[in-house]
Amino acid sequence: MLILGSFPSTASLAAQQYYAHPQNLFWRIVGETIKQPLQEMDYPARIVAVQAAGIAIWDVFASCARAGSLDSAIRDALPNPLAELKESAPALRRICFNGRMAAQRIREIEAMGYEAVVLPSTSPANAGTPYAEKLARWRAALSA
């Protein structure tokens, strides 16, 4: 399984870690889903635990221009080469998009034969979706 975000936040870029913003719910939600205390782990241990659960993390954009961290501010985005997934990750079956911006490439993913699931963003900017709803949808997608 692959989880695709849009592009790392300024906090993530500064830390050189996915989902580094302390208010981003990614590690909490994925940790509850795979029954690992990801929030309490250091970053290298988080990556090992997620990989052991059969999950990879990447972004749909390799680079972009953006003031701040909001997806709505992304401009001049250079896409990551998702077409190379078939060769580089032959066991990959499902791709989950972390939010609607990442899901803009869903047709491309589905055309490649992958099961695609759009999940509510774990970003603090997505405060309108209750935590319980986010957790339930992520749990269903990652557990299936």
By annotation, the residues acting in catalysis are 24
Distance (Å, whole) CA 113 – CA 2:
14
Beta bridge partners of 94: 115
Where does 6-80 show beta strands of DSSP type E? 56-59, 61-65, 75-79
Alpha-carbon 2 to chain mean position: 8
Q: What does DSSP say about strands 56-59 and 2-5: parallel, antiparallel, or unpaired? A: parallel
Dihedral angle over CA of 46, 49, 53, 58, nearest 10: 30
DSSP-derived letter for residue 68 is S
